[in-house]
Amino acid sequence: MLWRAALRLGPGARIVEIGSHQGRSTTVLGIAARSVGATVVAVDPFVEGRLFGGTPTRTLFEKNVARAGLTDVVQLEAEYSTKLRKRWNEPIDLLYIDGKHDYWTYTDDMLWSEHLAPGGEILVHDAFSSIGVTSGILVKVLCGKRYVYLDRAGSMARFRLAQPSWADRRRVLAEMPWFLRNVGIKVLLRLRLHAVARWFGHDSPYDPY
């Protein structure tokens, strides 16, 4: 989905990726961007600590981007997306959100869409497997007037900057059983009820998506 979205862009287009970590999705976007003459702005503060890895993670990100030959395509902004957004003044042609998954950060990251042209695409990771992100989708997409939910690949959801119809809103509601299933499996894994999780088709010790 990332690859195809980037390939739909044209020469001079700009992709903003929020949350890059070690650069796997950055590389996908970067290679596709290069083929159409676009560029990628990778936004990640590389927070120190066990969960995100801090400076060592940034080093891995830079090595992976260089190994893919994308140093002239990818521009790194080592900053919190919520802070950088307030001083950003450039147009965006594709927005990919995979940052902090709480409601407040996610809904703030959606405000980057103010720099998208009408009809521009927004991709969101963990859209229907994270309570914070899904809550933001219910408030800003289901009950809002700016975003249309198009489709998803796994938990990667695709939105368009446009006025939604009732049919568009119903597509969001149709994903709620799948979201509840994912959250339920996460709870079972926390309780170490792996056998019960397998009844729901989840045979991995890791969270779904």
Q: Each residue of 142-156: pLDDT tens digit?
A: 999 999 999 999 999
* Residue 51: pLDDT over 80: no
* Residue 205: pLDDT over 90: no
- Whether residue 18 contacts residue 112, with contact meaning beta carbons closer than 8 Å, is answered with yes
Q: pTM value? A: 0.93
What average pLDDT does the chain have? 95
3-state secondary structure of 4: helix
Phi, psi at 144, each rounded to 5°? -100, -175
Q: What is the mean pLDDT of residues 136-145?
A: 97
- Whether residue 116 contacts residue 95, with contact meaning beta carbons closer than 8 Å, is answered with yes
Q: What is the pLDDT of residues 89-134, one digit of tens each?
A: 999 999 999 999 999 999 999 999 999 999 999 999 999 999 999 9
What is the DSSP annotation of 45-103?
Answer: ----STTT-SHHHHHHHHHHHHHTT-TTTEEEE-S-HHHHGGG--S-EEEEEE-S--SH
Q: What is the mean pLDDT of residues 163-182?
A: 96
- Whether residue 77 contacts residue 84, with contact meaning beta carbons closer than 8 Å, is answered with yes
Q: Sheet with 39-43: list strands edge to edge.
A: 74-77, 39-43, 14-18, 92-97, 116-124, 156-161, 147-153
* Residue 200: pLDDT over 90: no
3-state secondary structure of 39: strand
- β partners of residue 94: 15, 121
* Residue 209: pLDDT over 80: no
Report percent pLDDT > 90 for the chain: 90
* Terminal Cα distance for the chain, rounded: 15
pLDDT class of 24 with cuts at 50, 70, 90: very high
